Amino acid sequence: MKLWLSSDGTWSATAVAGAKAVEVPWEKRETLAAWLTEIGAGKTSEQVKPPEPAYWEIQAKLRHAEIERALGIEEEIQNCDLPRLAVLASNVAYRFAELARKGEVS
């Protein structure tokens, strides 16, 4: 969730001139509570930093990126014409041979 923080420490739900957009971690109550405690009263907008992403958040983003990549490859294969498909098949065969030479294919 994005909120805006003015230099005088006032929060706003909509963009305000001169206010800094701050991404607020709202997914879990504990994360939000920790972040609110960390920023505390009296800090300026320059001092406000959201917490580092948790390990599970990073892993979820990596899995999402890998799924998108795989879907992109599958879509490329499904939509290409015969000459392009032949090039892709040749590259796949070459990669299998390369992995077999390294002993990675059983």
Residue 96 and residue 60 share a domain: yes
Asked if pLDDT for residue 82 goes beyond 90, the answer is yes
CA of 36: how far to CAs of 2, 49, 88, in Å?
Answer: 14, 10, 51
Q: Write out pLDDT tens, residues 11-64.
A: 777 777 777 787 776 677 677 666 666 666 445 555 556 566 777 788 888 888
Look up the domain containing 70 and give its range.
55-101
Residue 42 and residue 73 share a domain: no
Asked if pLDDT for residue 101 goes beyond 70, the answer is yes
- What average pLDDT does this structure show over 91-105? 87
30 vs 88, higher pLDDT: 88
Q: Would 106 be classed as within a structural domain?
A: no
Residue 68 and residue 41 share a domain: no
SS (H, E, C) the chain: CEEEECCCCCEECCCCCCCEEEECCCCCHHHHHHHHHHHCCCCCHHHCCCCCCCHHHHHHHHHHHHHHHHHHHHHHHHHCCHHHHHHHHHHHHHHHHHHHHCCCCC
